[in-house]
Chains A and B, each alone.
Chain A
Amino acid sequence: AQSVTQLDSHVSVSEGTPVLLRCNYSSSYSPSLFWYVQHPNKGLQLLLKYTSAATLVKGINGFEAEFKKSETSFHLTKPSAHMSDAAEYFCVVRRFSGGYNKLIFGAGTRLAVHP
């Protein structure tokens, strides 16, 4: 069965320093993977999506993620954090079941950005 594990529940960085949010997945076949971001009391917004076309996926707001099959990882990175990046981030894997694309969400990583 497909699942995702976000390795850190909280990450804190200083503004201007790199961001690394870690995600490991389990899947019996080549997965579709996503990162979503949620700002406080808001809905979720898609950051980026991996569908096997390229292992390095670029998303919005300068974020990118690299699919590493050998490590079953899909970590999210950004070279330089901005205060507006403070939010909760969810790693998601797609499972196709019963004719329906079901999304399995990780528990989330809360990113804090300090001046």
Chain B
Amino acid sequence: DGGITQSPKYLFRKEGQNVTLSCEQNLNHDAMYWYRQDPGQGLRLIYYSQIVNDFQKGDIAEGYSVSREKKESFPLTVTSAQKNPTAFYLCASSLTAPGVDVLTFGAGSRLTVL
């Protein structure tokens, strides 16, 4: 079955450590996204990528980094510069044809900073 796989599902980090969240899709989608979800705030866009080797900052990119070396993969690194990293992180993908705007989401990764 096609879909998006995020790992790990749960992750604990000490302050000052970088962590990388994995996102893999087998939907042959060109575009991939990372969102952060906090209670009562909906989803906020961190980074997005429309093609391989290209990505753009979203609304809250500070303290995060991404890479897009393969079409299937879009890992997110939460760096020590992110002041409040505890959150639920969601990866999504979509086609990029004109008028296509429906996202497919992964099951999410919950990051807790100790």
Contacts and interface: CB of A to CB of B under 8 A. Distances in A.
B41 A100 contact: no
Given A43-B4, A46-B102, A107 B108 contact: no
Contact of B56 (A9, A34, A41, A100): A100
A44 B42 CA distance: 11
A26 interface: no
A107 B41 contact: yes
Interface string B47-70: 010100000100000000000000
B105 interface: yes
A106 B42 contact: yes
A90 B41 CA distance: 11
Given A41-B108, A43-B108, A100-B48, A9 B101 contact: no
Interface residues of B, number: 25
A86 B47 CA distance: 30
B40 interface: yes
Interface in A24-54: 32, 34, 41-46, 49, 51
B105 A107 contact: no
Contacts of A51: 99
Interface residues of A, number: 23
Contacts of B27: none
Contacts of B90: 43-44
B40 A105 contact: no
Given A43-B106, A43-B107, A103 B101 contact: yes
Interface of A: 9, 32, 34, 41-46, 49, 51, 90, 94, 98-103, 105-108
Interface of B: 4, 6, 40-45, 48, 50, 56, 88, 90, 92, 94, 99-103, 105-108, 110
Given A49-B102, A94-B101, A103-B45, 11 more contacts: A34-B102, A41-B110, A42-B108, A43-B6, A44-B103, A45-B105, A101-B94, A103-B101, A105-B44, A107-B40, A108-B40
